[in-house]
Amino acid sequence: MQKEPTLHSREYVLTQAITDNNQDLDLPLRKRKFAAMSESPYRFFRGTSHLFWADMFHDWRFALFGGVAGSQTWIQGDAHVYNFGAFTSHDGEVIYGLDDFDDALVSDYQYDLWRLAISLELDAREQGHMDAAERRQGVQALVSAYLDTVTTYNVNALDEEIHFTAATSGKPLKKFLEKVAKKNTRAKMLAKWTRHQKNGKRVFDTDKPKLKQLSPHGKKLFLEAFEQYRNTRSSTYAEDFFEVKDVVQRLKAGTGSLGKSRYYVLIEGPGGCEDDDLILDVKLQDGPASLQAMTPVEREAYNNIFPNEGLRHITAFQAMAEHPDAYLGWLTLAEGIFSVRERSPFKADYPTHKLKSAKHFCKMSALWGRILATEHKRGSRAINQADLYLFEETLIKLTADKAEDFIGLVASIAKHYADCVEKDYRIFLETLGSLDDVDGD
């Protein structure tokens, strides 16, 4: 006879945490999110970032290579290989980097590095091309590249921008970015999400299963709130750039964010013609997952720094991104604070299933490490105006003559926590994977 799980068992803690974290979702949304999480351990990992933070937020191992003022920077907060992607810079160049700052906050750099390494291990296991030794080599390549990048700086090149583009990247990223630039266009994006009415006006195509038309009253309330965005946006574009042509609700997006309120707004483009229209992505910002792991004192300190989640999102984006979105802003609706940014026509994730050789796997892993380090360095300067290289100098001291130990620690954490995620995933499938018998109330 199987015993009931004790209050201290992993099964109890896991099921309680997932249940609590998704209690605000109605039954259909919970079913949809849990179905997505059931696809694989990696998808489960992406949908349960709150578990990572609960497990790692006060981990003693942070004291080995961090846990001090100088190791604090802006971090992405939900680092994994599919939170890197292609998008466009201000001048239309296709670049590759971190493209999601919904969970960003100021904290220790190791949270990002550990979570990214774990995601790399889990994704590689899912793809099935690499054995255990090759996966470890990939993680080591990631961490080594991160460390090399973060402990190297030139005081005479403070304003030098580091681009990860087809022109500056080798295989396998170069080929991917060239393909994105050739295949993805604004016209194709607009064709995917919009249609023309008989009068020639472009509107969203609500026959698409991921778009839902707003009621007249809902649209009126949204347009009233949109006026607030005009005053919060970070750019200086003329007002006529922001003429709203249509607005819809965006459905079925993301994994961890699945079920969060989200809207797409179609606005007039800079040229005033139908084919240069822009789509703005308006997304509920209810705080990073790390908040759930904070003590009351830590939460109070966070609230004192970030009184508004929309402002936190803008500040993080501008601190970390090489090319912050020109349409950044925020607005308030009944559900809460929403961030606003452009949906890039060149938005694309690197297809990790194509990393079939250990050589390309390690090269791509190293690239992720360099990008993360670059954005951490950039983020640190936003909070250390009086000592611009505090982060780099701190990491140099913390890892001096200990590079192998540093790399080995992260590789070990990636392997062991990935093992834990796989066990958690099996528990999830057995306990919460099916919601057929769950009461909708």
Mean pLDDT of 172-195: 92
221-257 confidence digits (pLDDT tens):
999 999 888 887 765 555 556 789 999 999 877 665 6
Query: Which one, of 199, 277, 213, lies nearest residue 244 by Cα?
Result: 277
Q: What is the pLDDT of residue 333?
A: 95
How far apart CA 364 and CA 415 sit, in angstroms, is 18
Asked if omega into 270 is within 30° of 0 (cis), the reply is: no
Q: What is the Cα 38 distance to its own chain's centre?
A: 20
Q: How many residues does the chain have?
A: 441
Q: Which residues pair with 284 in a beta bridge?
A: 338
Q: What is the pLDDT of residue 413?
A: 98
Worst-scoring range by mean pLDDT, 255-264, 281-290, 401-410?
A: 255-264
Q: What is the pLDDT of residue 4?
A: 61
Strands in 27-185 per DSSP E: 72-75, 84-88, 94-98, 105-108
Predicted TM-score (pTM) of the model is 0.92
How far apart CA 357 and CA 363 sit, in angstroms, is 10
Q: What is the pLDDT of residue 352?
A: 96
Q: What is the pLDDT of residue 25?
A: 87
pLDDT band at 258 (very low <50, low <70, confident <90, very high): low
Burial zone of 265 (CB within 10 Å; 0-12 exposed, 13-18 middle, 19+ buried): buried
How far apart CA 229 and CA 420 sit, in angstroms, is 43
How far apart CA 174 and CA 155 sit, in angstroms, is 29
Q: Which residues pair with 107 in a beta bridge?
A: 73
How far apart CA 294 and CA 123 sit, in angstroms, is 28
Output the six-digit token pair for 77: 């907060």
Worst-scoring range by mean pLDDT, 134-138, 254-258, 261-265, 335-339?
A: 254-258
If residue 175 lies in a helix (H) or strand (E), which one and from where to where? helix 173-183
Burial readout 78-108 (b: 16 or more C-beta within 10 A, e: otherwise): bbbbbbbbbbbbeeebbbbbbbbbbbbbbbb
- Note whether 123 and 81 are within 8 A (CB): yes
Output the six-digit token pair for 5: 């799980």
Residue 2 clears pLDDT 60, i.e. is over it: no
How far apart CA 109 and CA 355 sit, in angstroms, is 27
DSSP output for 135-154? HHHHHHHHHHHHHHHHT---
Q: What is the pLDDT of residue 437?
A: 42
131-159 confidence digits (pLDDT tens):
999 999 999 999 999 999 999 988 876 66
Interhelix angle 110-127/132-150, rounded to 10 degrees, is 150
Mean pLDDT of 88-106: 88
As separate numbers, helices (DSSP H) first and strands (DSSP E) second, the chain gives: 15, 12
Residue bearing tokens 């099964």: 11
> What would the 3-class secondary structure string for 160-173 be?
CCCCCCCCCCCCCH
Please state the domain extents for the chain.
Answer: 10-73+101-156+364-431, 185-342
Regarding predicted confidence, which is higher, 235 or 275?
275
Q: How many CA atoms lie within 13 A of 43 on its CB side?
A: 18
Q: What is the pLDDT of residue 3?
A: 54
Q: What is the pLDDT of residue 219?
A: 94
Beta strands 244-250 and 262-267 are antiparallel
pLDDT band at 438 (very low <50, low <70, confident <90, very high): very low
Q: What is the pLDDT of residue 171?
A: 86
Phi and psi at residue 209, to the nearest 5° = -65, -15
How far apart CA 107 and CA 290 sit, in angstroms, is 10
